[in-house]
Chains A and B, each alone.
Chain A
Amino acid sequence: QSALTQPPSASGSPGQSVTISCTGTSSDVGGYNYVSWYQQHPGKAPKLMIYEVSKRPSGVPDRFSGSKSGNTASLTVSGLQAEDEADYYCSSYAGSNNFLVVFGGGTKLTVL
């Protein structure tokens, strides 16, 4: 069982927007602004899409955005494109006395 809770699946049609949630606790998501999101295509390594809740690494389209409210973080993909179909994982820093990172179980995003 993963530390962070994500819906197992999400879907949308091309051009639409979809939001994926990531629920934790006050010890992880709610306690730090260090939530990240990763995209993973089948057989490939994960790719960082969002870090520190809402920041995008260079090269990530601005169609991808992140936010957080309380113990729940969200990833929104706007203007869905076929290549956005992938697994998405959230993670959060969770260390207080020690370094710790926890992940969500992943969400399979299907572009209809």
Chain B
Amino acid sequence: EVQLVESGGGLVQPGGSLRLSCAASGFTFSSYDMHWVRQATGKGLEWVSAIGTAGDTYYPGSVKGRFTISRENAKNSLYLQMNSLRAGDTAVYYCARGTGFGSFDYWGQGTLVTVSS
């Protein structure tokens, strides 16, 4: 059974940093592109970052230069380093498995990040 379990969320002050983790199991982690998608309370979904099987990374303009996605295949783990956090980054962050061109077939339960003073 495919499982994705996020951790690392919490309360952080504006300008601060946080590192999210996602533990994967039930599939060959190294064979899939992986993603982070976030959702502010009561709002829609926003794709945040992607990492390919070769370690290539991609970001939308809203987080580029502030967020860094990485993976450690030996540990079946995905990470998201978030720096220079803003109030607008407050959201539930989901780890998701990619199927190729932008579809996500498995999602974790999410971890809440709150940016507030």
Contacts and interface: CB of A to CB of B under 8 A. Distances in A.
B45 A92 contact: no
Interface in A80-112: 89, 91-95, 98-106
Interface stretch (B8-16, B17-25, B78-86, B95-103): B95-103
A85 B8 CA distance: 31
Interface residues of A, number: 27
A52 B105 CA distance: 12
Given A47-B107, A91-B45, A101 B94 contact: no
Given A99-B50, A105-B44, A106-B45, A34 B101 contact: yes
B103 A36 contact: yes
Interface of A: 2, 32, 34, 36, 38, 45-48, 51-52, 57, 89, 91-95, 98-106
Nearest to B51: A99
B102 A36 contact: yes
Given A99-B50, A99-B58, A38 B105 contact: no
